[in-house]
Amino acid sequence: MATEVNDLLDSHPTPSLLVRADGRVLYANQAAEKFFAHDEDGAGTGRTPLTDLTDLGGSELAARLRQTAGASNWQPFAFQFAAGPRQGTRVMLKGRGILRNGDSQPNAFIVYDDPGRARMSAHTGLIRDLNREIARQRELREALDRSLANEKALHRELIHRVKNNLSLLSALIRNRSSETESEEARAVLKDISFRTQSIALVHNMLDRTEEIEVVNVDELIGELCDLMQEALCPPGIRITHDTANLRLHVSDATPVCLLINELVTNSIKHAFEDGAEGEIRLAFRQNGVDKLELNVRDNGRGMSLPEEGASHHGSRITQALATQLGGRLEHTYDHGTVWTLIFEPEVPAQAAE
């Protein structure tokens, strides 16, 4: 073991000396023999007493060496070469005391404190720390990515289950509707079932496209129109739509679906004479920079007076949905009834790819 340590120290690039307090060199590694040698070819013994090498007087050097040998703390000291090829060169050294087992007196272990090496060592240390930090950040990023993927998977699962539950609920309501004999109850249950289907439509789309938060509004309104056309419209009434290719957050998409459902249902019920032909046109587009605009227009006989019960209730729902969207719902007459909702989406709408 001692031999291995000696070999290691001997081949170490830092000039290292073991010196007695009187300046006699007890050990010098190869780097020290070269560094402190008198002759230029570096073949000197390196064992020349430090007193002969330095500009420090004998007593001053002795005091420094005593001070260095007397404590295990590293202490700096400097001297100028008084002889040899480095004559006139000032060097920075540092040393500490070493008391070997069995020795009665400590000796000074002195190393050449190469400032270039120190800077290099500092840079190496910084690079090592930097690499360690980069590795730590990478692990953190991977853990975050895993966590995010996990959360997305859970969210998708939740959407899937909500979609199934809404479909189940809608089926139950339809089933109950077919069992009831009351016309009024059947109409109410049909409305509720369709509202449930409108909400389910958003979750169907999220589930199908594996999205979590946004839906393509053109596809959504298209599917809603198809659904209403098939389920609600009498023959002769046609639902069409002209929708900008936008992506809408689910928090806005759900009330928009419900509002369209209410307005279209209202038109189907009240705008046209029995058996008359007609058209209900939907438009959804950007309005200015921050806002969106929904139009529901029919070419029927204009706004009917509120009927007791259902239509009055429907009006409250449409206003409540408009308020939920933070928008304003207005209607006018222009060869039929025109409903217009302008609102600022909770999350800015994005153009679909």
Q: Which C-beta is closer to other proteins: that of 73 or that of 240?
A: 73
By the rule CB under 8 A, 171 interacts with other proteins: no
Q: Are strands 278-287 and 237-243 parallel, antiparallel or unpaired?
A: parallel
SS3 call for 70: coil
Question: Whole-angstrom Cα distance, residue 116 to residue 92?
Answer: 12
Q: Select the span of 34-42, 100-108, 137-145, 252-260 touching other proteins (CB under 8 A).
A: 100-108
Chain positions 7 to 46 lying near other proteins, rule: CB under 8 A, are 18, 20-22, 24, 26
* Number of residues lying near other proteins (CB under 8 A): 26
Burial environment of residue 34 by CB neighbours within 10 A (0 to 12, 13 to 18, 19 or more): middle
H, E, C per residue of 229-293: HHHCCCCCEEEEEEECCEEEEHHHHHHHHHHHHHHHHHHHHHCCCCCCCEEEEEEEEEECCCEEE
Chain positions 67 to 86 lying near other proteins, rule: CB under 8 A, are 67, 69-77
By the rule CB under 8 A, 109 interacts with other proteins: no
Running DSSP on this structure, what letter comes out for residue 54?
Answer: B
Query: Of 290, 294, 281, which is closest to residue 342 (Cα–Cα)?
Result: 294
Q: How many CB atoms lie within 10 A of CB 157?
A: 11
User: How near is the Cβ of 106 to other proteins at its closest, in Å?
Assistant: 4
Q: Which C-beta is closer to other proteins: that of 21 or that of 227?
A: 21
Q: Which of 17, 36, 50, 97 binds other proteins (CB under 8 A)?
A: 97
User: How near is the Cβ of 138 to other proteins at its closest, in Å?
Assistant: 29
Q: Which C-beta is closer to other proteins: that of 72 or that of 286?
A: 72
Interface residues with other proteins (CB under 8 A) are: 18, 20-22, 24, 26, 66-67, 69-77, 94, 97, 99, 101, 103-107
